[in-house]
Amino acid sequence: MRVLHLLMLSACFVHMGLKETFAFHNTDSTNREKTIIETITKSIKKNDFLNIKINTRMAFHTKFTGVESDKATFRIDYLWLQVTGNITDCIFYKWIQHLNKSNKANSLDNMPSSIDCLGIGFNISPTLSTFIGKQYADFGGFEYDADPAQVFEFSDLGNNMTCFLVGAHIQWFCIPSQELRFQVVNGRNNSIEDTYATTPEDFKAAKLPLGYTFNWNGFFFNNHLATRCSYSIFHEGNKSNVNMLTLAASWMQKHFNMYVDATYSFEDIDRLGILSSTITTDETPFCATDCEYLSIVSRMNYRPSEKLNLFIKGMYETASIRKDGIMEKGKYRTSFGYQGGLEYFPMKENLHFFAVYHAKQVDMTNRALKMGLCGSNPQRLSIGLIYNIPVF
């Protein structure tokens, strides 16, 4: 498969707001798998107005951390309905919904949390397009942009981001290998009261709680090197902003690829909530201020044969307070994540089996230990399958 074709298709998926895994996918449309409807009716699909897929990941999970409450269970981790299509050459639409998430409407945008994407896009020119509706926040990074069913275990930062927000973005391919994006979205899905368990005494919610993101994505060295850089600022309240900077790079060859994502978030109010949730109890809700989070994630894939992929992944993350205030200045939490596994592709790329081992070591610093906080060492073995079923 041509590397250039993979890279340009990846850019197309970013444009459409669809998350694709960073892997060796055979995406040649001339060799695509027939949909279920085509197979049943023995017909050939002649238009692109309606495309329906169901994406699922199911697995048997075994936890073995020595805790009595550990259980081994079968679980449907992801069940997505994806409906996309082109209304005309210039207008397209997208609807992606988690079928195993709550349908309760959010208090700010009045959208169910189960809907990840829902909106209309416009191809203004061959190099310029826009999308309006609920969409992925453009925080950037290869782990963040991957199909979540194929990530297996996100970083702490990735697990705590609000990824799907209502707004609009514009995308411009200034040259074929360079893409610029600008996005404006709601700063959150719910009200301040629903988002934070409590807020600081002097906090006043913003009347215009919007988030702004600028992205630059590029390809270099005969398309072997890809980069993704983004900066976001979200206005939460008076003198309370959340800033996030992501720098990411990937390298792709025929049998090997890898990526490195580095994200730094500095927050006047604890939007990620990692530090706040560590201290919060049922009786005493807590909201940290002046937080900073660092996350470095890397994954390497090696494909010795067409049907087998081996991978390893590492994560390093810290959580700190930037200045003395409600909490003492300094680092409170460090986590190391490890992941390794194999994937077997028996036929088409959209069906494969996997076996993955996950482990994480969460260490608390002395100042955190003095507050009664303690670390953890969760571990898990997962065996299952991922199937992106082409329905229509």
Cβ–Cβ contacts within 10 Å for residue 93, how many? 18
Task: Evaluate if residue 97 carries a pLDDT over 50.
Answer: yes
pTM, two decimals, is 0.86
Convert the pLDDT of each residue in 9-67 to its tens digit. Answer: 333 333 333 344 344 433 333 455 777 666 676 677 767 899 999 999 999 999 876 66
pLDDT given for residue 32 in this prediction:
59
Please classify residue 288 by burial: count the beta carbons closer than 10 Å to its beta carbon, then call 0-12 exposed, 13-18 middle and 19+ buried: buried
- Is a pLDDT exceeding 60 seen at residue 295? yes
The span from the CA of 287 to the CA of 285, in Å, is 7
Report pLDDT digits (tens) over 177-216.
999 999 999 999 988 888 888 888 888 988 899 999 999 9
Whether residue 152 has pLDDT greater than 90:
yes
pLDDT at position 70, please?
66
215-270 pLDDT, tens digit each: 999 999 999 999 999 999 999 998 899 999 999 999 999 999 999 999 999 999 99
- The residue type found at 392 is F
Q: d(Cα 113, Cα 122) in Å, to the nearest integer? A: 25
Share of the chain above pLDDT 90, in %: 61
Strand partners, 261: 248, 297
Residue 239 region, left (φ>0) first, then alpha (ψ -120 to 50), else beta? left
Q: How many CB atoms lie within 10 A of CB 226?
A: 24
3-state SS, residue 197: coil
**Span 87-113, average pLDDT:** 90
DSSP 3-state assignment of 64?
coil
Provide the pLDDT for residue 213.
97
Handedness of CA 183, 188, 192, 195 (dihedral sign): negative
Q: Which two three-digit tokens encode residue 123?
A: 């191809």
CB 11 within 8 A of CB 173: yes
Q: Which residue has the tokens 């580095």?
A: 262
pLDDT of the residue at 2: 32
Average of pLDDT values for 63-92?
A: 86
Tokens linked to 13 = 């998926």
Q: How far apart are CA 164 and CA 182, in angstroms?
A: 16
Residue for token digits 């898990």?
380
Q: What is the pLDDT of residues 324-354, one digit of tens each?
A: 888 889 999 999 999 999 999 998 668 999 9
Q: How confident is the model at residue 90 (pLDDT cuts 50, 70, 90)?
A: very high
- Asked if residue 331 lies in contact with residue 322, where contact means CB atoms within 8 angstroms, the answer is no
Place of tokens 């229509």: 392
